[in-house]
Amino acid sequence: MGGIELEPPLRDITVVALEQAVAAPFATRQLADLGARVIKIERPGQGDFAREYDRRVKGMSAYFVWVNRGKESVALDLRAGADLALLDRILARADVFVQNLGPGATDRLGLGSQVLRDRHPRLITCDITGYGPTGPYRDKKAYDLLVQCETGLLSITGSPDSPARPGISVADIAGGMYTYSGILTALYERERTGEGTALSVSLLDALAEWMGQPYFAQAHGGAPLTRSGARHPTISPYGHYGCGDGARVFLSVQNDREWVALCERVLREPALVRDARFADNPARRAHDDELTAVVEKHFARHTADGVVALLDGAGIANARLRTVAEFADHPQLRARDRWREFSSPVGPLRGLLPPVSVAGREALMGAVPELGAHTEAIRTEFAKDRGQEPGTGP
């Protein structure tokens, strides 16, 4: 990398995570990548149920591998007084406590946010829920696809004939990202005030934020939004177009300047610029089927590679539809050296560096823990005779 290697920014922060599935683990993994010590509390024998989602990664779950590297796994039975007391000793020296158990679970264990904040004033607590701590849905179980349904996302995703689930867990990812940024904000605030705080993130609220543009378009646009497959519902041309070799190229025209460039330099039909059907984006979207026919008539004269070359030459954004396997060997990621190896119980695995690059620092990519791998070490470290020193982080 060159230059001086900077210390991880969260190297003095200890995070205790009573977590499962995706949202909370995704947030705490990012804290681990920044150097935080993340102590993951799991159920003895079973662990985080995401460990059992699949066996695709040499016998391990792809979900679990993705969101749990760099953590210490501690198997505790929180129904047993001794293990619950051990957890409290850990929390006495922790900076952050994150949990996304079912509704009311932490309260029943005596680990509610207010109880912990009264006991440990410097502790930052974060509760991740499906639908929030109040309201008629407070006690309703929530999983990613179900939250997508409740926010209306599925009503605008898919083909005109059928809704479709996005290929990734967008509600969990949204919740995890807001948890991550909220914790960083709370740590910054504690640096100035000396006091912790209580955070609450719901998957519904997180994904609802991402539904802002569809909401405003629907609330003020009259006709209901419709599913448009792989085409953009409000911008045209924006989507996939067939080429002469049977392949498809995706392109996006975002403004009238790019529309002129497409007509004059790619389609070689400058008269289209003055065609009333395509005079501006709302008009183009209203006549999208006709516009698609015009574009594909010209693209039929070229291979997909030829179309990409024309679009690149005209400054028109475009892409080829890649499979996941092709993404894994993407030339841009390879050229920028974005892949790294990290350890796991099944041997070395390859993963991408986190998206934020900082000069002089590379994110830590620690090992994926085996269930309970750190239990005995934690029991020794936080034995009763070691005391209950408060966290030393900022």
What are 298-307's pLDDT values in tens digits? Answer: 999 999 999 9
Residues with Cβ < 8 Å from 141, sequence gap 6 or more?
102, 103, 130
Q: SS3 of 111, please?
A: coil
- Is residue 220 annotated as part of the catalytic site, yes or no? no
Sign of the alpha-carbon dihedral angle for 138, 141, 144, 147: negative
Sign of the alpha-carbon dihedral angle for 138, 139, 140, 145: positive
Amino acid identity of 239? Answer: G
Decide whether 14-211+330-386 matches 238-323 in CATH topology.
no
Name beta bridge partners: 239: 251
Q: How many helices (H) and strands (E) does the chain have?
A: 16, 13
Domain ranges of the chain: 14-211+330-386, 238-323
The CATH fold assigned to 14-211+330-386 is Rossmann fold (3.40.50)
Mean per-residue pLDDT for 359-367?
A: 92
pLDDT band, residue 385 (cuts 50/70/90):
low
Query: Is the pTM above the cut of 0.85?
Result: yes
Q: Which of 120, 220, 232, 240 is catalytic?
A: 232
**Per-residue pLDDT at 234:** 86
Q: How many other CB atoms sit within 10 Å of the CB of residue 335?
A: 8
Q: Residue written as tokens 């129904």?
A: 79
Residues 243-260 pLDDT 10s: 999 999 999 999 999 999
Helix 203-210 × helix 170-193 angle, to 10°: 100
Residues 214-241 pLDDT 10s: 999 888 877 788 888 888 888 999 999 9
The CATH fold assigned to 238-323 is formyl-coa transferase, domain 3 (3.30.1540)
